Amino acid sequence: MTPFSAPIAEQIWDMKYRFKAADGTPHDVTVQDTWARIAKSLAVVETDPAAWEPRFAAALSDFRFLPAGRITAGAGTARSVTLFNCFVMGTVPDSMAGIFDMLKEAALTMQQGGGIGYDFSTIRPKGAVVHGVAADASGPLSFMDVWDAMCRTIMSAGSRRGAMMATMRCDHPDVEDFITAKHDAARLRMFNMSVLITDPFMAAVKAGGDWDLVFKGRVYRTLKARDLWDAIMKSTYEVAEPGVIFIDRINAANNLNYCETIAATNPCGEQPLPPYGACLLGSINMARLVTDPFGPDAALDPTALTELVATAVRMMDNVVDASQFPLDAQRAEAQAKRRIGLGVTGLADALLMVGLRYGSEEAAAQTEAWMKAIARAAYLASVDLAKEKGAFPLFDTDAYLASGTMQTMDEDVRDAIRTHGIRNALLTSIAPTGTISLYAGNVSSGIEPVFAYAYTRKVLQKDGTKTEEEVVDYAVQMWRDLKGDAPLPDYFVNAQTLAPLEHVRMQAAAQKWVDSSISKTINCPEDISFDDFKEVYMAAWDQGCKGCTTYRPNAVTGSVLSVSEDKPKEKAAPVQVRTDGETAEVVYMTEPLDRPTELEGATYKLKWHDSEHAIYITVNDLVVGGHRRPFEVFINSKNMEHFAWTVALTRMISAVFRRGGDVTFVVEEMKAVFDPRGGAWVQGKYVPSILAAIGGVIEKHMVATGFLSGEGAGLKSDPQADVVSLGAAPRGKACGSCGSYDLRMVEGCMTCGSCGFSKCG
């Protein structure tokens, strides 16, 4: 018998979390071996490891406690990776030397697998005087471009590109440029971006007052606060960025506001952190703790919850001592405060099991009660650890209990902290759990609603054959197992059918008992009016949220996996999901396109600065439905030094092109390649490597043939739909890992429902 309840769960484990030797030989033969590896690694720091190792393994069993991916994949492997998920880097100095010192630290952190956040508000605005060099400052956006380029070259932990968060205060003189920076489709693609919103700014927005843009005491410009707020809203309405972070609220509630000031978060926003702050993550699987699911006595088991939370807190506290850190400053910060981020996943499934409709007032009240139970159990468990191992080094009883979060805590918990101290300064956070939720049997992710009840996934096997498998939400599968073919009750709702304000209600209910923050996406319909869209953000402010992230499908952001109320037509969109539990087909391109006898193409000459001979690049196109799309590439040169890699490059690019679909990522990846020996200026533009130059030529050809709408822009049409002859509506980009068109915005991060890949972890 396998503990995996779905094939996709076992595939996720094998791809992402199973410990293997360099040659691919598994060290973890079964998932129980993975649990045992983690338990042993985290028990080592205990005085009596033999006593705690089986208790840790029991918490992990049946996917009840889910440490975040970096812990699951890295603990006990002796690899040089950090087990921490989230970092905010040091304060960026307003000097050239200091800025590039920070860049180096960022590279070292991402190399070990950490997602990072930066506040760029500390850099002087564009046009400000730079004393001593007779020049004007280029502004923080120009340095963000440097960070973005660096991030493209770092493969985080050897498996995914690094993820970054950039923040800027709402009173910085360059904030308007910051808000619109990602309207350029080729710019700052490695960043998530959020504006730091202050209490005085929100007061000015509500009062219709003026707002000063200031740097180091100098007022650069004054504008209407509502105009700036509307600019933020218009940008996120159109391109889904920037998000907003209510920074004063975060600092007021912070248990540590007596010894730190927060100005940035990790990439998904659930961890506001001080300079060099770090946090590790883990989630309680709520779906596994419901007794009598869908029955008359359905309820979350309070005893099991309390015991599991206590064990999870101890395990996560041990990670602080067991983990490596990219920088000494990060280690010192983590050990001084011992911050952890215990959260939940499977919340929506648990609500379904007890008969509650996600988004309803009753579901919000139940969510608040469950989160309070978790917070109480976590804080009391940390007090017990303080009795045994000591409080965190910077603990100050009176200052700690005076924080906004602690003032709302139950008096018995406050008394316990007052008497014994507490081991961990902050304990709760709700992180993105897209991948570990799939690994746990496709439970609903974090506190998000169920995205889709079921869909069919086509899987390309190693021998080239294709199989189909149904991917079913955990609660829906349980309903089927218990109720057979009985139709799903009316309270089964999903992310697309919920009103945006119902999303806000659930986020606000959970936030009351989360001492850090929450990663959540508020899905908005494409046809939502701008005024209604703005109301979502104002409701998030009014109801006590610490931030807000929305996603509205449109021509810029792209469509994602869609949900249809009706039966699919004969030529339905390739990605369709039914709300009644039935499934429609997901179509992926897996067979290469056939090559006709003749192709249209063009040849381009590229002269590189350090090469005696020119390189000739030929791109041939296939004509499908009257449109040209790239089919193959040939690269030739008399310089034999380039022979091997040009042949390899030719074959690889051509193989990708022949698979069809959105292949524009080839250009993006090639243009991002940097040569450490230096690049060259080509037609007035700096090109970082010869490979980047070749990528630029291919992009130029794609634009000329109408495949791309412009340099750095997206597809002019959807060639995949033409190839499979399904008349599909635009679906956005394909997954960069598996190529499927199953991308969805989950907890502020674009995530693939087929393979679990996401930029954010």
575-591 residues labelled b (16+ CB within 10 A) or e (exposed): bbbbbebebbbbbbbbe
Give the chain's mean pLDDT: 86
| pLDDT tens by residue, 170-229 | 999 999 999 999 998 778 988 999 999 999 999 999 999 999 999 999 999 999 999 999
Pairwise pLDDT comparison (707 vs 296), residue with the higher score: 296
For residue 68, give the amino acid letter. Answer: A
524 is catalytic: no
User: Which residues are within 8 A (CB) of 728 and not within 5 positions of it... i.e. 6 or more apart?
Assistant: 573, 574, 718, 720, 721
From 86, 268, 548, 760, the catalytic residue: 268
* Distance between CA atoms of residues 579 and 561, nearest Å: 13
Range with the lowest mean pLDDT among 12-21, 133-142, 153-162, 369-378?
153-162
Q: What is the mean pLDDT of residues 250-255?
A: 97
Q: What is the mean pLDDT of residues 300-317?
A: 98
pTM recorded for the entire structure: 0.79
* Distance between CA atoms of residues 254 and 45, nearest Å: 28
Pairwise pLDDT comparison (534 vs 574), residue with the higher score: 534
Q: Is 707 helix (H, G, I), strand (E, B) or coil?
A: coil
| pLDDT tens by residue, 683-726 | 767 788 888 889 989 998 998 888 887 776 655 544 333 333 32
Range with the lowest mean pLDDT among 110-119, 437-446, 526-535?
110-119
pLDDT at 676: 66
Residue 565: is it exposed, middle or buried by C-beta count within 10 angstroms (0-12/13-18/19+)?
Answer: exposed
Phi and psi of 362, rounded to 5°?
-65, -40
Q: What is the mean pLDDT of residues 557-561?
A: 55
pLDDT at 753: 63
Other CB atoms within 10 Å distance of the CB of residue 94:
16
User: Which residues are within 8 A (CB) of 657 and not within 5 positions of it... i.e. 6 or more apart?
Assistant: 629, 630, 631, 632, 633, 663, 666
- Asked if the model's pLDDT at residue 385 lies above 60, the reply is yes
- Asked if the model's pLDDT at residue 652 lies above 80, the reply is yes
From 53, 105, 270, 632, the catalytic residue: 270
- The band of 318, judged by pLDDT with boundaries at 50, 70 and 90, is very high
Q: What is the mean pLDDT of residues 610-635?
A: 82
- Asked if the model's pLDDT at residue 317 lies above 80, the reply is yes
pLDDT at 510: 98
> 262 with 275: CB under 8 angstroms?
no
* Distance between CA atoms of residues 313 and 52, nearest Å: 13
Q: What is the mean pLDDT of residues 745-760?
A: 65
Pairing of strands 466-472, 454-460: antiparallel
- Percentage of the chain surpassing pLDDT 70? 84
pLDDT at 356: 98
How remote is the C-alpha of 583 from its chain's centroid? 27
- The band of 364, judged by pLDDT with boundaries at 50, 70 and 90, is very high
Q: What is the mean pLDDT of residues 578-607?
A: 60
pLDDT at 590: 40
Of 458, 468, 465, whose CA–CA distance to 738 is shortest?
Answer: 458
266 is catalytic: yes
- Asked if the model's pLDDT at residue 487 lies above 60, the reply is yes
User: Which residues are within 8 A (CB) of 743 and not within 5 positions of it... i.e. 6 or more apart?
Assistant: 558, 560, 561, 732, 733, 734, 735, 750, 751, 752, 753
- The band of 254, judged by pLDDT with boundaries at 50, 70 and 90, is very high
Structure tokens at 607: 């002269």
* Distance between CA atoms of residues 56 and 263, nearest Å: 35
R_g (Cα) of the chain, nearest Å:
26
Instruction: Give whichever of 106-120, 454-468, 523-537, 644-658 has the largest mean pLDDT.
Output: 523-537
268 is catalytic: yes
Phi and psi of 661, rounded to 5°?
80, -165
Q: What is the mean pLDDT of residues 20-45?
A: 95
| pLDDT tens by residue, 411-443 | 999 999 999 999 999 999 999 898 899 999 999
- The band of 610, judged by pLDDT with boundaries at 50, 70 and 90, is low
* Distance between CA atoms of residues 5 and 477, nearest Å: 9
